[in-house]
Structure 1
Amino acid sequence: MFRVIPKHIRASPLWQLQTLPFAIRFLSSTPLCYPRPRLTLLPTSELVSRKLIQARLNSTSSTSRLQKFKRDYKEAWGKIWQTNPIGFPLTVLFVAVNAGLLIYIIYDRVTRVDPYLNRFPPEVAAPLRKALHHSEIRPDPILALQMFREALVVAEHVQMHPFSDEVLGIRIAAAEMLEKNGLVKASIDMLEKTLADCKEWVTSGRRKQMIIDKQRAHRTPAEIVDPETAEAEKTTREKEGREAKLRDQVMKKVIGIKIKLADLYSSNSVQDMDKAENSLIGAVTESASEVRRRRELNLPVSRDGGDDYINLTEIAASCNDLADLYVKKGKHHLAATLYIQSLGLIKEEEGQSTTCAQVVLLNNISSQMAEEAQRVTGKPGSISRADGPLISKPELLDAAALWAKKALDVAAHIKPPVRDEQCDQSCQAALYNLGEIAHMQKQFAEARDYYEQARELATQLQFEEGIKLANDAINRLNNKK
């Protein structure tokens, strides 16, 4: 841009004006405009070469800029490591951990939380989402419990069934939240209240249905000839069927709640083994009576018929849990009895197909009989025969050996993929138990043989505890010599 340079002109007196001839000469000698230079066109080849040169210059400049950026980046990176040798790696680790946590939260929400909340109406899902947030992401048990209660109130307002899977799931989730936050007694109280409500609803509903069925049995077919009456009767029966199915599902939850209560009562924060035992006894009793009722009504009791009711496997699991509790309390005769009941139920459920569950139970029966035999000295044991008299110590040891050998025999007929690690470990335990039984019977050569077999199998399984027990047993035999 041209610059205008100011020029100071001195004013002359008005009477000394320039004369006209001089002005005319000045104007005539000054050209009006300067001639424009004429452009000459370059050849096309020269233009192309100039463009190539310009492109190379541009690429060279961009390459130099990239190299300069890399060089500056390396220098900055080295300076950061030199000035912050500890803080910088910790910062990077912190950022990486937070990024991973964020990815996990998003993944968990998409795969677990959202599908769960989609089962609820939006009015219920809103407070429930807040409850889950304060249960898992920002733990606040008081606020989470408040949100769970609000979700239950809204669910009742929108007329959700109070004993549906969704509503009962809210109550159970609230109890789990309290347990995770260390409020075990509050969790127990909530589960006990849920259990009482479920049992009362199931009992009253079945009683009402029994009365309706009796009234319906005395009704004559002529009373429902009217099409509208027949349609209403059909709708009523469908509703009754849904309610009956829901009652079966609730009874299944009742058993699960009882088992969970037993677990909480036996936890370190409560340690009330009597209440734990009563809860498990209740679970076994309730499940057995439920299966008995279904059999009287010619309803299915196996898993093949569905998963909406208590089946034989679940009764066996209840018996097994109670037996495990009796093992902890040293009531080996009761534990053995319950293991035998559980085995019978599993056999009935599985039919011709045999799984590793039978091997585990057979070994458990053997171990409890051996424990009972070790407990008694000269007096009879606490386990009785079918005809009444108690079994003596030698008879208990013989029976324990038979149960252990039966476990090995059953396991030999189970092939992969049905046979798993649990089956192999049960076989190792059965061999060790046979060694212990032979040792108690003073058959030391046979005991050594079983111990060595147990050690060999434990080595193949890389079962460190089994190897240690077998080695200790062999050392005991060596010391006797």
Structure 2
Amino acid sequence: MTLAFLCIVIGGSSVFYANYIYYKYIIGAYHNYPEEVAKKLRRAIFYTKTDFQPKEALKYYKQALAVANEVGMDPFSDEVMGIKIQIAGLLQQVHQVEKAILVLEQVRGDNLRWLELYDEQKELHANVDMRKKKTRILAKTIAISVKLGEHYADGAVWDRDMALERLVWAVETSLAEKIRRQAAGATEESDGPWMTDEEQGASLEALAHGYEERNLHYLATPLFLQALGLKGKTDCHSVVLMNNIASSLAQQSPQAARAAQAFAEKSAVASSDAPSGPVATKEMMVESARTWAERALDVAAHVKPPERDEECDLGCAVATHNLGEFAEMVRDTATAEKRYREAISLSRAIGFQDGVDTSSERLRALLGQG
């Protein structure tokens, strides 16, 4: 009887959970679509989330797009673009990154052509609804460009030039639009909502990582600094950004650091020609990097639950390891050994095996143990 009771409870719970999932995520997610389109999307999401069959899911997503076109849905609406973005996400999920890129590039190209037409038709600029539509499409295009930067940097594609091109465009465009809105006194009521500081910071950070992958650390540093400056609060991700700043500073030449200073003063992605004047020494660069790593540790120590998450713990381990490397750079072997041992202990405590392995390897090399 106990077993039967448990089976009834489990069975009833399963039915309840299935209904909850169905109404919340299958039906509720598509209330903005005409029923003819929503019907196809429900099938697509079933084969994406419940019974994973990529070919079936892709078939129904394509049918949803065809029906959306037949019933006259705006191809630049969030709903229609959302279907295309879901297709790209499905392709990424099955490791067909090149095809995901083709889908997103097509959406991006269509959006850019619409934005060009908007700019040419000045009479549209007086229409509040059209201004809001322009803002929405521009923001979506920037987000798609950031995603394309990620895809081009994927190991299966590894087109770093295109990754940087898409990310640079996203950052330049988002900053230019922010400046334009400020100059025009634009508001959410007049032009629609724009990207938040956190979203713009994410674009800057993505571009900075793109520069890091090409060892252009002098370009990454000011972008990490700007991303940190756009954060509305100090949290565990601030720790990550401070670590990134420290690493970028330590890996660039003094001449490049001087260029980075001019670069940061001018704009996020402008020319980085080094100005004339005294150049910092390598020791000064390492000292600056050490300061940022120690600041990361200090910030992490003051972030308390529930705001504290694993980013803080990982950030502490990484910052401590970095301090060991910075000490090595200035031939302070005693401090380097101490920091590596601390990093090993921290990494082991949080189950960060990569951290344990990396710090252990550097410690062995430092002690001449091979």
Residue 311 in structure 1 maps to residue 196 in structure 2: yes
CA 1:106/1:461 → structure 2, altered by over 3 Å: closer, same or farther?
same
How well do the aligned residues superpose, as a CA RMSD in angstroms? 3.3
Matches within 5 A, 1:159-174: 159-174=72-87
Determine whether 1:139 maps to 2:53: yes
What residue is the counterpart of 1:270 in the other structure? 157
* Alpha-carbon shift at residue 367 of structure 1 (Å): 1.1
Aligned to 2:99: 186
Gaps of at least 5 residues in structure 1 are 1-99, 214-239, 302-306, 374-379
Say yes or no: does 1:435 pair with 2:320.
no
Give the C-alpha shift of residue 441 in structure 1: 0.7
TM-score by length of 1: 0.62
From 336, 339, 342, the equivalent of 2:224 is 339
**Could you tell me whether the CA contact under 8 Å between 1:362 and 1:403 is conserved in 2?**
yes
| Structure-2 change in CA distance of 1:190 and 1:469 (3 Å) | closer
Partner of 2:257: 383
Q: Following the alignment from structure 1 to structure 2, what is the Cα–Cα distance between the partners of residues 261 and 423?
A: 28
Within a 5 Å distance, the mapping from 1:103-118 to structure 2 comes to 108-118=21-31
Q: Letter of the aligned partner of 2:104 in structure 1?
A: L
Partner of 2:293: 404
8 Å CA contact retained: 1:264, 1:270: yes
Q: Deviations over 1:96-140 (max 9, x none)?
A: xxxx99998766434322222332112222333444456664736
Structure 1 residues 478 and 193: alpha-carbon distance in aligned structure 2, compared to 1, 3 A threshold: closer
The question of whether the paired residues in 2 share the 8 Å contact of 1:359 and 1:423 is answered with: yes
Highest relative contact order (Cα 8 Å, sep 6+), 1 or 2? 2
| Unaligned 5+ runs, structure 2 | 1-12, 263-274
* Residues 393-472 of structure 1: pairs in structure 2 closer than 5 A: 393-472=282-361
Alignment partner of 1:321: what SS?
Answer: helix
Instruction: Give me the identity figure in percent.
Output: 33
* C-alpha distance after superposition, 1:326-364 (max 9, x if no partner): 222222222223212222222xxx1xx421222211111
Q: Spell out, residue by residue over 1:150-176, the C-alpha distance to the aligned partner (whole angstroms, 9 max, x if none).
A: 433433443333222211112222333
Separation in structure 1 between the aligned mates of residue 240 and residue 276 of structure 2, nearest angstrom: 27
Name the CA distance, whole Å, in 2 between partners of 1:140 and 1:361.
37
- Are 1:291 and 1:312, in contact at CA under 8 Å, matched by a contact in 2? no
Measure the CA separation in 2 of the matches of 1:244 and 1:444.
60
2:194 matches 1:284: no
Aligned pairs, number: 340
SS of residue matched to 1:479: coil
Q: 1:360 aligns with which of 227, 237, 240?
A: 240
| Contact 1:411/1:427, CA 8 A, preserved across alignment | yes
The reply to whether residue 325 of structure 1 matches residue 225 of structure 2 is no
Q: 1:421 to 1:124 in 2, by over 3 A?
A: closer
Amino acid paired to 2:303: I
Q: 1:197-346 maps to which residues of 2 (within 5 A)?
A: 197-205=110-118, 208=121, 213=126, 240-299=127-186, 308-346=193-231
In 2, the alpha carbon distance for the partners of 1:354 and 1:148 equals 41
Aligned to 1:479: 368
Counterpart CA distance in 2 for 1:284 and 1:440 is 33
Q: In the alignment, is the contact (CA less than 8 A) between 2:124 and 2:131 conserved in 1?
A: no
CA distance change for structure 1 residues 128 and 408 in 2, over 3 Å: closer, same or farther?
Answer: closer
Alignment partner, residue 36 of structure 2: 123
